A and B are shown apart, each in its own frame.
Chain A
Amino acid sequence: MRTYRADLHVHTVLSPCAQIEMIPPLIVREALEFGIQLIAITDHNTTKNIAAVQKAAAGTELVVLPGMELQTREEVHVLCLFDTLEQTQDFQKEVDIALPVIPNRPDYFGEQFVVDETGDFIESEDRLLLTSTKLSLRQAWEKVEQLGGLFIPAHVNRKTFGLLENLGLVPDDFPILTLEISRHITPAKAVVEFPQLKGYPLIQNGDVHGLDEFLGSNEYFLANATTEELRKAIQGKENRSFTYNI
């Protein structure tokens, strides 16, 4: 068992809103400099840059979990975290079907670059990624659950794409493991401002769009860095745990 300082919400240059510096080698270097040993790559509705970041992290102390920040039909953002690229590819197939085909306008939304482990350009993603899929929250939860992943509503207190703004309350039609709060609030303040959050384990991530945005607010005490271990830590089961350190 050991402690992992973590940031489970990290974007790459494939997300149109991310900075151009968010390429695999710099993400890995910066995370390690922040004292972070566990990240998840969570681009908007896509998983195409994960393998490159994993390759860039090979041989370092940093563990890179594959993930996605999904935008549901309700315009709610959710972190979907997995362990293997096979799982993310299966999930990507579902998302591709559910994502409307709208061409990206890089001048307005930003560039969407698929890159290799050195950060070199491979291709531009033509489809606009920053838009809602047709999957409802519940449908998305079912798919992630079936694949054995974690389903975590993102920055729930944020005005845009946050669960509480769009849906008012925490949904009760599927089990909620944890909710992510945005970088500008503490768990204690979040519960005061949004009493609906009371009783739910709250995690915080940097929602990292630029290299200076890593937070590492949470430390997880795990046997190893897997989603199953994270699930236990968030639930406080089998001596796994997590703490908030800011």
Chain B
Amino acid sequence: MTIMTLDQIINSLGLTVLTDLKDFKSLTPSYGYTSDLLSCVMSGAKNQGVWVTLQAHNNIVAVAALLELAAVIITEGAMPDETTVAKANEQGITLLSTEKASFYIAGKLWEMGLRDV
């Protein structure tokens, strides 16, 4: 399995970090998951994974915290509001943003070697 850091993911995909900066080089996500239905994410995503979604609702933070996800990549330029970003910072969740669509991001992550699902 290719080990990659969240820092590499952020840089290769040109993601915008919406939450507080962290030592992204020390984080090594091992799983990827994509869905916009939070009920499915709650039962389908795994700990320390990266979750790709265009859902920017406040509840993404609760779900990410519940599953201890490494990061949430919010696609298609969807913007969480300030409350959501503040809540993510409180919970230590990293929110990342991109204009690209979920399919593109998932494809790139796969190409980079994030293939455990």
Residues of chain A whose beta carbon lies under 8 Å from any beta carbon of chain B: 73-75, 136-138, 164-169, 171-173
Question: How big is the B interface, by class?
Answer: 10 to 19
Residues of chain B within 8 A of A165, CB atoms compared = 37, 39
Residues of chain A within 8 A of B58, CB atoms compared = 138, 171-173
Among candidates B39, B56, B78, B81, residue contacting A168 with C-beta atoms closer than 8 Å: B39
* Contact (Cβ within 8 A) A167 B38: yes
6 tightest A-B contacts by CB?
A168-B38, A167-B59, A173-B58, A168-B39, A167-B38, A74-B57
Residues of chain B whose beta carbon lies under 8 Å from any beta carbon of chain A: 36-39, 41-42, 55-59, 62-63, 78, 81, 83-84
* Contact (Cβ within 8 A) B39 A173: no
* Contact (Cβ within 8 A) B62 A169: yes
* Contact (Cβ within 8 A) B83 A168: no
Residues of chain A within 8 A of B55, CB atoms compared = 74, 166-167
Known: A168-B59, A168-B63. Contact between A136 and B81, CB under 8 A? yes
Residues of chain B within 8 A of A171, CB atoms compared = 57-59
* Contact (Cβ within 8 A) A137 B37: no
A215 to chain B, nearest CB (A): 25
Q: A73-B57, A167-B55 are in contact. List 8 more A-B contacts (CB 8 A).
A: A74-B57, A75-B36, A165-B37, A167-B39, A168-B39, A169-B59, A171-B59, A173-B58
A205 vs B78: C-alpha distance when bound (angstroms): 32
A100 vs B68: C-alpha distance when bound (angstroms): 35
A75 vs B38: C-alpha distance when bound (angstroms): 12
A168 vs B45: C-alpha distance when bound (angstroms): 13
A168 vs B57: C-alpha distance when bound (angstroms): 11
